[in-house]
Amino acid sequence: MISKIEDSKIEKIRFHEIKSRLYEERKANMSDYAYLIYTSGTTTKPKGVPITHSNSIFTTNNIVNILKYKNSDIDVIPLPLSHSFGLGCLHASFYVGSTLILHKNLMNTSEIFASIKDNSATTFAAVPSSLTKLVKDESARIKDIFKDLRLIVTNSTSIPNTTVKEFKKILRYGTIATYYGLTEASRSTFMLFDDERKFDSVGRTPDQIEIKINNEKDLEKGEIWIKGLNVIKNYWNDLAADQNFVNGWLKTGDLGRLDKDGYLYILGRMDDIINVAGEKVLPQEVEGVVKVLSDIEEAVAIPMKHESFGNTLKLFVKTTDKSKITKTEILSFCIRNLERYKVPSMIEFVEDFPKTQYGKIKRFMLK
């Protein structure tokens, strides 16, 4: 196995001769880790998530079957592949053998539009904030470019009803779809926007996935818990985070509710709830009211310490480019449309918000 090169002291190793002694070949088991991926770190530091072959195959099957991916598809994906949204799209394309066109992001819209038009693309994937921005900034162009797509897929960050309706008008025969899931439990629900009464929902679970609303007082809303073949067994070297698993259920930290038809609605994060003088305030409710104003592009409410009430609300607002709206006008609108304890005590204009690659606002950086 080891011999000296003639007339020298250099030794050479013939690896093909000792290969069988170095390791034993074996086929991968379904329970083996396929890859290690990290959470986006929207609320806490990123956690390592080991995905098994079983997790990956189960989720990919659901994506392909529910969204009807096929070999003839031409998929345009301007998403990073370091997170589960882009990676799931990649797996679906590989699974059916479709054509895949990758872009780093959506910054260069002309390049993206050329990819769709020149290649007669059939599917397109983007985060909700990107789709909303396209509707606002590129309305005329997307009516022509996007009209023949058979599928636009986004993910579970809140997508405004107006954005969904605009794309449904644009698509001649196609579908717009979203899903709810975590890195730890990818694609736990799917939503095809075919019933306007359910547009606020992120959809229902596929077979072999369960969702329940866990609460202490048997209220309509509570923490979302998930169990199924898409859910990981543990985090990577993080015993503290492993406390989120209870008898096979994953405690998501998301606040939600289920309607009588099994549709899931995301209301926010459990740790985002603000206690104002003993009253529980969901910041997303306040933000939703403010974003009705056409001059408001984005809004984020966070707690602000108060000597008497414990907390009040501070509202950060990003306005549209040509907006002339004032803080007084926003406050007056809040007073007319919110209960008194939900009205912000302070409003601050910002140029932009700190975000993850997927457009999720990093609230903890504003606190």
Q: Confirm whether 117 is domain-assigned.
A: yes
Q: Confirm whether 10 is domain-assigned.
A: no
CATH number of the domain within which 329 lies: 3.30.300.30
Domain range for 141 is 33-269
pLDDT at 5: 46
pLDDT at 105: 86
| Position 238, amino acid | D
Nearest-angstrom CA–CA distance, 83 and 66: 21
89 and 231 share one domain: yes
- Least Cα distance to 79 among 144, 168, 155 occurs for 155
Q: Confirm whether 13 is domain-assigned.
A: no
Judge contact between 252 and 182, C-beta under 8 A: yes
Query: Does the predicted model carry a pTM greater than 0.85?
Result: no
* pLDDT tens profile 7-40: 555 556 666 666 666 667 778 899 999 999 998 7
Q: Confirm whether 14 is domain-assigned.
A: no
Angle, CA of 208, 202 and 365, to the nearest 5°: 110
> Helix 283-290 vs helix 327-337: angle between axes, to the nearest 10 degrees?
120
pLDDT at 1: 42
216 and 358 share one domain: no
CA 147 to chain centroid: 24
Last residue of a domain, one of 243, 269, 295: 269
pLDDT at 137: 85
Nearest-angstrom CA–CA distance, 87 and 95: 12
195 and 327 share one domain: no
pLDDT at 40: 76
113 and 207 share one domain: yes
Q: Confirm whether 7 is domain-assigned.
A: no
Q: How many domains does the chain have?
A: 2
Q: Confirm whether 148 is domain-assigned.
A: yes
- Least Cα distance to 88 among 54, 113, 125, 119 occurs for 125
pLDDT at 161: 86
Q: Confirm whether 298 is domain-assigned.
A: yes
Query: What does the block give as tokens for 296?
Result: 């408001």
- Least Cα distance to 204 among 222, 228, 234 occurs for 228
CA 16 to chain centroid: 46
Instruction: Return the CA Rg of the chain.
Output: 24
pLDDT at 136: 84
Question: Residues of the chain whose pLDDT is less than 50?
Answer: 1-5
263 and 281 share one domain: no
Last residue of a domain, one of 223, 247, 269: 269
302 and 172 share one domain: no
CATH number of the domain within which 207 lies: 3.40.50.12780
* pLDDT tens profile 308-324: 888 999 999 999 888 99
CA 259, 265, 269, 274 torsion-angle sign = negative
